[in-house]
Amino acid sequence: MSLLTDIQLPAVHLASVSKSYPSAAGPVPVLHEVSVGFPTHALTAVMGPSGSGKTTLLHCAAGLDRPDSGKVFLGDTDLAACSERQLTEVRRSRIGFVFQQFNLLPMLTAYENVALPLRLQGGRVKRARVMEALRQVGLDDKAGRRPAQLSGGQQQRVAIARTLVAEPEIVFADEPTGSLDRQSGRQIMALLRDTVDRAGRTVAMVTHDPAAAACADRVVFLSDGKVVGRLDHPTAEAVAHQLSLWER
């Protein structure tokens, strides 16, 4: 387990981020001055009721969406100060994103899906590097399979390999176990934990599952677009207890 006390600079830091979406009745606020850091070399879980702004928070943190106000720092890079072109480059080279529905390209093999970020970066794709990413998720023997020939859990492992191959500073995962059975979900959590402990990466993940959140170093609780609590070194029981408090 990573030591949160060792952490100096968060991998990503949001400072007073607000975001609303337009509607016929005027803008609907989704995030209210959210300030939160995702510590380097740690696994942070974000929890909260449906509609509380978790996905919006992750998208702002990952540069997939721009806040209305406030700042997002990736290391010491101010994402608000980046042009669209710079932001695309930052997303490509420094950030990984894992989706609930895997988002693999169905016509490509596992190998080709994992090689894609390297292709997009330009330059030659080193086969050994792609195979190493597949090996890290235990699927080097399935390199030639297409997504439809893999289980849900295996597809999510390919998606994780696809983020790891580019050696991002931080991997964001939005309900990565949300579409999986319990056993596959546990494998994905063990893999994300390994990504932090063995590969030395930083992971920020949204989950509804207290057992998954208990794999994290820190849990941040969101409610109505505000950070309402934090739990370090969580247990499933402590997480479930916190959730029951906000749900009252």
Residue 17 CB: number of other CB atoms within 10 A? Answer: 26
Shorter beta-carbon distance to ligand ADP: residue 51 or 75: 51
Is residue 184 involved in binding Mg ion (CB under 5 A)? no
In DSSP notation, 51-85 reads TSSHHHHHHHHTTSS--SEEEEEETTEEGGGS-HH
In the set 40, 52, 55, 109, which binds Mg ion (CB under 5 A)?
Answer: 55
Taking the C-alpha atoms of residue 30 and residue 121, their distance in angstroms, rounded to an integer, is 33
CB of 134 to ligand ADP, least distance (A): 30
By C-alpha distance, which of 94, 58, 59, 66 is closest to 82? 66
Shorter beta-carbon distance to Mg ion: residue 41 or 59: 59
* Contact indicator for 68, 34 with CB cutoff of 8 Å: no
Taking the C-alpha atoms of residue 140 and residue 129, their distance in angstroms, rounded to an integer, is 11
Q: Exposed, middle or buried by CB within 10 Å (0-12, 13-18, 19+), for 160?
A: buried
Shorter beta-carbon distance to Mg ion: residue 7 or 31: 31
Taking the C-alpha atoms of residue 206 and residue 7, their distance in angstroms, rounded to an integer, is 21
In the set 30, 116, 220, 227, which binds ligand ADP (CB under 6 A)?
Answer: 30
Could you say which residues in the range 32-91 bind ligand ADP, by CB under 6 A?
48, 50-56
CB of 101 to ligand ADP, least distance (A): 14
Taking the C-alpha atoms of residue 132 and residue 137, their distance in angstroms, rounded to an integer, is 9
Residue type, position 76, single letter: D
Shorter beta-carbon distance to ligand ADP: residue 67 or 117: 67
In the set 9, 21, 138, 151, which binds ligand ADP (CB under 6 A)?
Answer: 21
CB of 104 to ligand ADP, least distance (A): 21
CB of 206 to Mg ion, least distance (A): 6
CB of 48 to ligand ADP, least distance (A): 6
By C-alpha distance, which of 72, 70, 60, 123 is closest to 93? 123
Shorter beta-carbon distance to ligand ADP: residue 115 or 231: 231
Task: Give the per-residue contact string, 154-193, with ligand ADP (x = CB under 6 A; - = no).
Answer: ----------------------------------------
Kindly list the residues in this chain that would bind ligand ADP in the complex (CB under 6 A): 21, 30, 48, 50-56
Kindly list the residues in this chain that would bind Mg ion in the complex (CB under 5 A): 54-55
